[in-house]
Structure formats: C-alpha cells, structure tokens
Structure 1
Amino acid sequence: MIFNKLLLILLFISFFNLFSQEETKENLQEVIITSTRIEIPFSKTSKKITIINAEDIKKSTATNLTDLLQGVEGIDIIKRGTNGMQSDIKIRGGNFQQTLILIDGFKTEDPQTGHHTMNMMIPLENIERIEIIKGSAARVFGQNAFTGAINIVTKKTNKNQLSLNSSYGSFNYQKGEIIASKQFDKINILAYFSQQKSDGYRENTDFINNNYFIKSSFKTKKEPINLIASFADRKFGAQYFYTPPSYNFKEYEETETSLVGLSTKYKFSKLTLKPKIYWKRNQDMFLLKRDEPSFFRNHNISNKVGAELNSSYISKIGATGFGVDFAKVSLASSNLGDQNRTMLNAFIEHRYVTKSKKLDFTPGIAFSYYSDFGFQTFPGLDVGFKMNDNTRLFWNIGSSYRAPTYTEMYYNSPSTQGNVDLKPEKAVSQEIGVKYNSNKLSFNTSVFYRVSTDLIDYVKTNSGSVYFKAENLRTIRTKGIELGSNYKFKMRSFHQKIKIGYTFLEDDYAEIDVFQSRYILENTIKHH
C-alpha cells in the first residue's frame, strides 16, 4: 500500500513539474516561518507546514480557533460543550497530549493534563497567522511536540482603533467584545476583552467565558521589546465530558489560565539572538457531581516559569541554529499532590544548501533533561530538493518523546486511576512528499510513517475491570497519506479561494492486547 502511495506522489510530481514550466513565475509575498529554529521563507522549508493567514481567517465561517483548525487536513478535534468551551487537538492520529500549542512562540502546554491545552484560545480577531508543523517537532520544541506543533502568531499594533461588538442567540446566548489599540511615540498597545455566556442547549451545558488579551511593543534604539499577556476565565457545565452517560454524573468545571511573556531580538552582522522569558499559570476546579460537590472535588494550580535563548548564525557553509531553554514546573493539587519538575533543553541544527541551490540538508539534535525522567535526545534530519521555482521535494525523519502528565501518574477517582510507574512515550517518524506553490495554485502531498512505543492510555484489561487505569501500550505503527490544495481565482471582481484537503490513516495495533481503551484505540479517524 505504501508503494502505491509513493507511486501516486511521483505522478503528482511529474504533473506539477510540467505545469509549472508553462506558468510565468510571479513575485510572491513570502511568509517567514517563525516556528522553526532557523527562520526561513515558507517556500524553502523541507517539512510539511500549513499556513492559515489573516485573509483565510477573515473569509472563513469559523467563530473560534477550534472551528478554524477543524478544517485543516490531518487535524482532528474532539469538542466538548459549545463555542469551543473545551477541545482536544490531535494531529495525524496522535492523541491530545501529543500536540504542542504555542502563542507567539511561547509554549502553553500544561503539566497536569493535555485537556487544558486549548483553555487559552486567542480570539480570531487578534491572529495574524497560524503555522502548523505536522510530524515530529521534538527536535525544535522538545517534548509534547510528539506529532506536531501549532504556533499562533498574533497581530501587531499598527493603527489606532476602538471597536465594540455584540451578538445574541438561542438559549440566552450573549457575546460582547471590545478591541482597542493605540500608537504612542515609543509604545504600541493592543487590548481585547470579550465575554460569552449561555444557559446551554440542554441540562448542565451552561457556560460563561471571559477572555482578556494585551499585546504591547516598547521601541528601543534597535529592536523592540514585546509583551504579551493573556487571561482566560471559564465556568461551564461539563456534561459527559469525562464520564459516559450511563454514570449520569452532572460534571462541572472552572478554569483560569494566564500567560505573560517578554521577548526581543538582537541582530548583529551574522548573528541573531532572541531571548524570551515567560510565566504560565492554570487553575482548575472540577466537580464530578455538580449537585453534590462533596462527592468528588478536584482542585489544581499549576505554574510554569521559563526562559529561552534562540540563536542563529549565518556563515559560508550555511545557517546554524542553536540555543537553550529552561523551565520550572510546579503543581499543587487536592488529588494529584504537590509536584515539581525541572526541564532543560539544548538544541543545535545546521542548514546546508549545495552550490546548485537545489539540494539542502538540515541535520539537528536536541538534548533534554527532566528532573524526574533524566536525559533524552531527539535527533533528526530534513532534506529538500528544489525541482524548479515552484516545485519542491522533501523528506524528513525525527524522534519524539513525551513524559507522562501528573494526571496520568497520580489521578484517583471512582472511574479512573493513574499509574506512578509509567514510562515516557517515544516515537520515530518520517515523511516524504512534494510541494507546489504559485500565485494561484498551491498543492502538497506526502506519505508519513510513525512507529510509537510505550504510548500512554487509560485502559481496561478485561471485561471485569472496574475502572480505567493508565498504562503504557506496546508498539503502534501509524501510516498515512495527506493531500492539500488551494486555488485562487477571481469571479465578478471578487477574489475567491477553493481549499481541498484529505488525510488517510491506518494504525497497526497487532501488539496491543487490552479489552477497552479510552483514547488511542477508540478515537482514530481513518478518513479526514
């Protein structure tokens, strides 16, 4: 089957190679990819990267980030509640713990559980573009970028404005938002506030959601100092979020999520330094029975303080990216106990382009230390071949790693048990494909293959098991093919765009022997 798909790719290569030779090349406004250690134009990347720009967002029918990402090939989203109240993002058959979300390059993963990954959803009005890296990104970002990473790049303040909007709907739905921005001599500020609330479309689906967002830029003699601050406050009925309907629990949850980050850039003749410092906090209160709070109550407060230094150096033999990041994580929990983790990552990679400027190689390696799991390494290699100005072949291989969350290790409830003996997840992923880009048409297709070991899931080992328990599963092999295309055209003076995407997934569970799985074995979508 893989051979047939490779043959299909070669046919597409031949077709688009001939097509591009007949087309006049126009100057395209290049997007510089910031979610890589070495910043390079989108057309020169040797990985599968999807870009959603501000124009795409404006023309979409999506009202929140979850709905917007749902339309991207290879991304599957499990929604709970309405209006994106809680969502789990999966890339290419992975689970919700294996996708890393970044906001302006700041990591937002939560040590308690991946269910909190999307707690802080940046409003669509504040997004400049979204960069989606599919496949292993651990070499670039460390753990949690197991199957991919999504970097949300927010808009810059470039004008003075004040905007007020409101809307109403069924089930007493109400939304109000304020957007204000101001430019001063040395400071630019953008501020956003919104509130959404509803009584819910059925019992225990009510919610209230407050979002606060500030982005500011402080001008200096050289590069500006950038500040980002975001706070999300949610209260919602979590009907059937974590337990099946047969339990008839009226679950309820409250979350508060904060992110504050500072970043800047120092540019020299050949060297660029990009330091960052940040703090992320998440507070979560969960009731298994809303009408009986004393039955089971879980309260958690997690904090993460981190600092990063990303660097790149341009020499005669190419571009070298290197740097370090350090983070200290803590958790205070009524159910999971008090936990601490120290993380240190160092990385280096080098991009070499041959004299013909057609072939490029980017080998790299990341070294990671976790105070509770020791040292790990993530080697990888990206290879690209430029067939012509429009068409590019690529192949990459890389390893991934994910340490267990504190919920997976220590959680204890009437229906679910953690496991302190869990081992980290590991995987090796590779991909081969072709990309074609012109002013009107863009097309990409690729075949990918991932071998994962010790994947973590909550399972029942037999029909008599009373509760789900977190366990390491044995080897799972995932293979698939992905197609994506965009075509721009004009109709009656209006600019139009047609987007088509498709992903096929096939998992081999031959080595897995469990009676029931909560996530991995139950929620894989074969066609998307």
Structure 2
Amino acid sequence: MKIIFFIISFLIVSIVYGQENYRGIIADQQNDELPGVKIQNLNNKKLSRTSIDGVFTIQAAVNDTIEFTFSFYDTLRVIAGKEIQLNGSNRLTMRYETQEMGEVMIIKKRMADFNVGFMPPIKGVRLNTGTNSIIELENLSGAKSTGNAREMYAKVPGLNIWENDGAGIQIGIGGRGLSPKRTANFNTRQNGYDISADALGYPESYYTPPIEALKSIEIIRGSAALQFGTQFGGLLNFEILEPVKHTPFEFTTRNTVGGYGYFSTFNRISGTHKRMFYQAYHQYKRGDGYRDNSQFYQHQAFAQIGYYLNENWTVSAEFTHMNYVTKQAGGLTDLGFAEDPRQSIRDRNWFAVDWNLLAVKSTYEINKSITLDIRAFGMMSNRRTIGFLGKITQTDLGGNREMIYSDFMNGGVEARFMKKYSWFKNEEGNTAKVKGALLIGARVYQGETQTRQGTAADGDDANFMFIHPDDVEGSSFVYPSINQAFFAENMFFVGEKWRFNLGMRLENISTSSEGFYKQYVVHPLNFDTLMVNRVNDSNTVARTVPLFGAGVSYKAGKNSSLYTNITQNYRAINFTDIRVTNPNVVVDPNMKDEYGFTSELGFRGLLKDIMIYDLSAFYIFYGDKIGLAPKPKTVKKERTNIGDAQNYGLEAFAEIDWLKLGSKRRNWSLNTFVNASYINANYITSKEPNYIGNKVEYVSTFMVKSGISSTFKSWTLKIQGSFNSPQFSDASNAIEPSGDAVIGEVPAYYVFDFSGSYKFKKYFQVEFGVNNFTNASYFTRRATGYPGPGILPSDGVSGYVTLQFKFAK
C-alpha cells in the first residue's frame, strides 16, 4: 500500500509541478489587442479569457495544445513550450475569417480613427445589412453630459433633430424625412431590448440613457431592420458600456458645470471578479434652462450583474430607473419669438416622467456555429403633464389646470437562434464556396397604457393631483395591446465578393381602447356649461401583417462594398392619440395604419485608412401617412391620414485624415468630415386635392453637418457647423404662420459648436466647449400641445466644463 500511495503521490506532484502559467498577448492582423478571447487548454481543460488589453494567462504543461477562439476570427491552436514560451513575451496573432475580413478590418479602423463605422455582417445574434452606422462614444468630442444630439449624431446622414431640450433629457430624431417626434419612427432599444412606452400603440420614448454611460449608438436601416420590428426608421439601439474585465473594481466620476445654472454629476462603478461581472451608475442633473420657467432636475440609475455559468453561457440582469420633473416654458408666437426667444408666458406648466425597466438575458454558445439568445424585459412607467393647454394667443388667467396622466406597462420575451454554416467545401475541407448564417427568432409582447385627462388644482407648483380622480372631466381610457411575431433572416456569402440576405417577419397585432370621454355643451355668450354628455367608447383592431425584405452586397475593393436592398414597412396607429382632448387639434376617428416600403442603393468603404465614406440613394413609399392639416370649414387642425407620400433622396458622408496623406507617421491628426443629405418628400395622393404635390411636414430638403478636428498628444479640439433648410409644419405647406403659431414655416438655421478635451497622464481628463457659440436664434419645431403649443425656441450660446476622474484597483 505504501508503494501504491507513493506512486500516486508522485504522479500528482509531477502533474501539478509540470503545469506552468503561460502568459502573452493576443492581437489581430492590425496589431490591435483583442479583449475577451476564449482560451482553452485541450489537455487539462483549463479555461480563460483575455483581459481588456488582450493579455492572457493559462495553465499548461509542455506539449499541451492551447486553443484560442473569437467571433469573426479563425481558430488558433498553439503548442505550449514550442510555439509559446514561459518568458511571458508571447504575442500571438489571430486572423480574420476570410468572408468577413474586409468589413471587420474596416470597422476596427473606423472606430479608432473616425469615431464612426459600419457594423460587421454578423454581430452576436444579429445580422447587419444595408445602411447601418455605429457611433463610438469613448473618444467622441462634444457635450456628452447634456447629450447634444447635433454633436453626437453629426456623422449619421439624413437625420433631422428637434432641439427644444438643451439638457438632453429627451431626444427627438427622425431619418430620411420621418418625423423626429420622440424618435417614434425608430424601434428604440437599450442593450437590445425595448425602452419605449408601447412598441405598438405608443412607440414614443420619454427615456434616453445618458451619453456618459454609453459605449456606442447603433442605427440599422434597410432589410436587416425587420429583425427588430416594423418601423419605417429602423433600429436605434443604445449600447451601455460593458463592465470592465481586467479589474474587480473601477470607479469613474464626471462632473459638469455649464450655462444657465447647469450642473451634472455622473458616477459609475464596475468590475469583474472570477465568473461574476457587475456595474452600476447614477447621474443627477439640474438647471434653470435657457428660457424663463424652464428649471428641471433628473435622476438616472442603472445596475447590472452577470455570471459566466461556463465559458459558453452567460446570464445577466439589468435594472434602469429614471425620473425627472421639468417646468414647461410653453410656446411663443412668431412675434414673441422675434422679440425675445428666452421669454415665457406660461408659468404654471409642468411635466414629469418616472421610468423603470427590467431585463434578464441569457446567451449560450452551443458550439462555435450555433448561438441561442433569450431576453425577457418589462417596463412600469408613467408620464404626467399639468398646466394651461389653451392657444398661445390666450392669456392664462389662473384657476384650475388641465392634467394628463398616463401609466405604461409592458413586457415581453424575445428569443434568437443563429446557425452559421458552410456549403460546397473543397476536397481538403479548408474553404467553402458558400458560407452563411441563419437567424430565426420569435417575440411575444403585451402592453397596457392607461390615460386619464381631467381638471387639476390651481396654483403654479408641480401638484399632479386630479380634483375628481374617480370621475375625471376629460377622458379615461385603457389601451391594451398584444403582439406575437416570428422573424427569420438568412445571409450567405458566395465566393469572396458576393453577399445575399433574405428576411421576413410575420406580425400578429391586436390593439384596443376602452373607456369614456365627455362632451360639453357651452352657452355661446356667457360660456356656461349647459350639458355634459358622457360617451362610452371601445374599439379593437386585430391584424396579421407579413413583411419581407432582401438585399445584395458586392465587395468592390479590399475595403469597399456596393449594396442594395428593399424591405416592407408598417406602423400601427397610436390609439393613445385618438381620445386625448386637445383644444388645438381634433383627431380623425377613421384613421388607418400606415404601410409602405424602403429601398436603397449605396457604396461605402475605407480608402487606405485615410478616408471613410458612405454614399447612398433611397426611396420610401409611405402609404396612408398620418399628419396634421387644417380641418376644412373649421379653425381647428386635424390629425388624420393625409394620403400617400414618397421620400427619396441622397445621403453622403466622408471624413479624411489629412496628415495620413504623407508617408511619415505623426503623433497628431487633422480631420475634416462632411455629412450632407438631399431629401424630397412630397404627397402623391391625398383626400384633400390641394395637398397633392405638397412637401411632407418637418422635412428639410438640404441638411449639412461639417466639422474640423485635431488631436495633438493629449489635446483634442473640434469645431462643427450644422445647417437645415426651411421646413413646413403641416401638410398645407403654409408659409405664413397662424395666429397661434401652430402652423407655419420653420425657417432655415445655422448652428456652430466648439469642443475640446485634455487627457492627463493618469486618472484625470478635462472636457470643455461652447454650444451655439454664434448665439443663433432659431427653432426646430412648432408644437400643437405639450410642451407648447407654439414655437419652441432652441438654446442660445452656452458653455460647459467637465472634469473626469477614473481609478482602477
């Protein structure tokens, strides 16, 4: 027994002491370090991953086989003691998969040098085709604390931006001639799950994550957008920074002061310990606002915790909370705006939002070619408005105010299954004539919105209480919605140059409304109420909508491609708009869903790492477009299906680093970018003959953003200009403004911004800038209701300074 015990002990000791920690760095063909590479010793089954700097450590004995795997890269196998040594100076290179090499190279370089790029064909459990942009925010210069959309989205062509919120609390963008109202024409998501009020009945978002918390912003348009929904605008996805992988604790604080009493503090902790990763942040901002009666405060908080069940299976949970209260300065008439855009004639209007999101995600890499992703999400939120809703030409004489209170609840589950495959391999089995990926997914979603409108207490404070909560004076409705969807997308690569994709989506949608509204009979002389009629109303609409899309891409050069695609679109009516009483607007009770299609042709690429470019032409058919127009034989405006519209145009983006034109490498850069679009959007049919040929509302025919930036050692400086040509605010294309300023032209405007930063060698960074440094007086929107009605002036000149401190254990 002693001999046997000695032999076993000797073998154990030999095995233990035969194992050594091999260290090194993993990089790609461009010599950039790769974080998160999966490492496995095929002999002892030990597992590891590279740090954020590409550093790896793995236990192995001499002659053990060590395998390195990473998405979009060929698997790498090396022999311990032969191809890697114990001295720790190992630097290994992983090569891009042949079919995806060009576009992965493009995106990596663009991220590093231009802060904008195009997504690879396959990313996680998503397929990316057609027009897509990814905005990398880490080194992007601009007013991040206030989320200045002019600067953040400056390099995405075709976006029209509403700029009546200088604090970045709520974003409003629309693309290719689509309305910017609360970004409702995009399927808006955070980390891949819904964040809007109701994806079907009310796809507007009152929540926007802080730019300081984001890694990137993704915009996908074209046929690939069918994976995410039916919207004409496509996908807008906010990617929150991932927890740091190289340390168990990292702390970041960013504190900003700016004009008009602005202050913001953003604080984040993050880390990874063994198999667990986590992060949490909180942002608080407050200010007095550019105009009188515009003070606000906002809290945002986010927490994430996750766990690697094994090297192939990750689970995580995320919770988001946001609340804010802001005083609404109201709208102005054209004369009032010309006299003083900072004035306010409403001092009792308030707006408040409370937003809560919960998401649970599971991603399982079954093997190198099969991945299953499941995410469940839910939301419980509300919005409250209180004030005087009368026309801006009416004086607020005090007394009781009008209040609208909406509760939003929704939840859903979305599952995605991706299978990569290869066909027609050669005899050696090394290469295939056709490679591809099949994505299959399903989604179940249910939402419910409750909206009440009635009389609230007088005064001038933010007292969101109905006088008669059990029997409101205006209306009370419940809007349930149910949705089941199935989608499939197939992308296949033929040879080295061609890529094809086919997609479909089947939507089953049921939207309903049930409740009551009150009609008042008023004496024409003394305005006394003679009679009140309570009208009960209910409505249910169920429909099944099949949608299809297809695209082709041709690799014209090493780093360039030509692409085209076409996809169907669909947008359900917003029931929440139908029964909310607005003294300035009536709603057509016979409104129908909108439908249509989008097609595009484009050419994009990278020229020798010197210039990035994207040129595209698009055509959108928009059937039964809903908009605002004067109601015949009345003084009111009507929200109705105006008719069929077409949006077509050209988009162009290019950025060049002038100093790379020389052969000598320099430690500074000088970049110029131009982002220009031409959009012709007009009505081709209408029930109102006078509208045929008219321009679609809130579409600038020409939009240009251009800037010049330079980096030298630790300094970054940038100047940017933005131009929008005139826009119409309604389908009648009225140039002369109405007396209440709800209808009329939105004039052309120019805006210039300056920003800069300085990075210290360790811990600290300073950012600074001046937005609208020429103090241009302009507006981008005429509101029909909250936060107007009337002209909503954009902010004048405003400066800011941000101090960042980052510490890692």
Same fold at TM > 0.5: yes
Which deviates the most, 44-53 or 358-367? 44-53
Which of 294, 312, 333 is the equivalent residue of 2:400? 294
The answer on whether the counterparts of 1:285 and 1:299 sit within 8 Å (CA) in structure 2 is yes
| Number of equivalences | 498
Partner of 1:108: 195
How do residues 183-332 of structure 1 correspond to structure 2 at under 5 angstroms? 183-221=272-310, 222-240=312-330, 249-250=346-347, 251-269=349-367, 270-289=369-388, 294-317=400-423, 318-332=436-450
More deviation, 249-258/334-343:
249-258
Kindly indicate whether the alpha-carbon contact (under 8 Å) linking 1:457 and 1:520 is maintained by their aligned counterparts in 2.
Answer: no
For residues 234 and 404 of structure 1, what CA distance do their matches in structure 2 show? Answer: 28
Q: Distance in 1 between matches of 2:486 and 2:291?
A: 49
Partner residue in 1 for 2:484: 344
Query: Are 2:591 and 1:501 aligned?
Result: no
What SS does structure 2 have at the residue aligned with 1:474?
Answer: strand
**Offset, 1:217:** 2.1
Which digits, 9 at most, give the CA deviation of each residue in 1:307-337, with x for residues without a partner?
0001111223521111101110001110451
| Kept in 2: contact 1:78–1:88 (CA 8 A) | yes
Provide, for residues 240-260 of structure 1, a one-character-per-residue CA deviation record: whole Å limited to 9, x for no partner.
369999895553210111221
2:190 and 2:699 map into 1 onto residues whose CA distance is 27
Offset of residue 500 of structure 1: 1.7
Q: Is the 8 A contact 1:119 1:232 kept in 2?
A: no
User: CA 1:64–1:115 in structure 2 vs 1: closer, same or farther (change >3 Å)?
Assistant: farther
Could you say which residue in structure 1 is the equivalent of 2:236?
Answer: 150
Larger radius of gyration: 2
1:90 aligns with 2:164: no
Partner letter of residue 231 of structure 1?
H
- Which residue of structure 2 aligns with residue 422 of structure 1? 591
Task: Report sequence identity in percent.
Answer: 17
Q: How does 1:402-481 map to 2 (within 5 A)?
A: 402-438=571-607, 439-462=609-632, 464-481=633-650
How much has 1:398 moved relative to structure 2? 0.4
After superposition, residues 108-127 of structure 1 pair within 5 angstroms as 108-111=195-198, 117-127=204-214
Measured after TM superposition, the shift of residue 169 of structure 1 is 3.3
> What secondary structure, in the 3-state scheme, does the structure 2 residue paired with 1:85 have?
coil
* Residue number among 28, 36, 44 corresponding to 2:105 in the alignment: 28
- Residue 269 of structure 2 corresponds to which residue in structure 1? 180
Q: Do residues 526 (structure 1) and 698 (structure 2) align? A: no
- Secondary structure of 1:28 counterpart: helix
Q: What root-mean-square deviation, in Å, do the aligned CA atoms of Structure 1 and Structure 2 show?
A: 3.3
Q: Secondary structure at the match of 1:454?
A: strand
Within 1, Cα distance between the matches of 2:187 and 2:335?
A: 30
Q: Deviation per CA, 1:119-143, whole angstroms, max 9, x where unpaired?
A: 3222222211221123466522113
Greater mean alpha carbon deviation, residues 70-79 or residues 169-178: 169-178
Q: What displacement does 1:496 show?
A: 4.6
Distance 1:112 1:324, change over 3 A: closer
Distance 1:173 1:77 in 2: 22
Preserved contact between residue 129 and residue 223 of structure 2 (Cα < 8 Å) = no
Q: 1:202 to 1:55 in 2, by over 3 A?
A: closer
Quote the offset at 1:171 in angstroms: 3.0
Please give the secondary structure, in 1, of the residue aligned with 2:256: strand
Q: Which amino acid aligns with 2:276?
A: I
Match of 1:358 in 2: 497
Question: Unaligned 5+ residue runs, structure 1?
Answer: 1-24
Structure-2 change in CA distance of 1:212 and 1:40 (3 Å): closer
1:164 pairs, out of 245, 248, 253, with 253
40 and 113 in structure 1: CA distance in 2 versus 1, 3 angstrom threshold: closer
- Unaligned residue ranges in structure 2 (runs of 5+): 1-101, 112-116, 337-343, 390-395, 424-435, 454-475, 512-541, 661-665, 704-809
In 1, Cα distance between the equivalents of 2:200 and 2:295?
23
Partner-residue secondary structure (3-state), 1:130: strand
- Name the CA distance, whole Å, in 1 between partners of 2:333 and 2:153: 24
Aligned-pair distance for 1:170? 3.4
Equivalents in 1 of 2:198, 2:304: separation in Å?
A: 25
SS in structure 1 opposite 2:172? Answer: strand
Cα distance, 1:136–1:280 mapped onto 2, change above 3 Å: farther
**Offset of 1:408 from its aligned partner?**
2.5
Which amino acid is 2:228 matched to?
Answer: F
Work out whether residues 411 and 417 of structure 1, in 8 Å CA contact, stay in contact via their aligned partners in 2: no
Q: 1:498 to 1:41 in 2, by over 3 A?
A: farther
In 2, the alpha carbon distance for the partners of 1:55 and 1:245 equals 43
Residue identity opposite 1:87 in structure 2: I
Contact kept, 8 Å, 1:80 with 1:86, in 2: the verdict is no
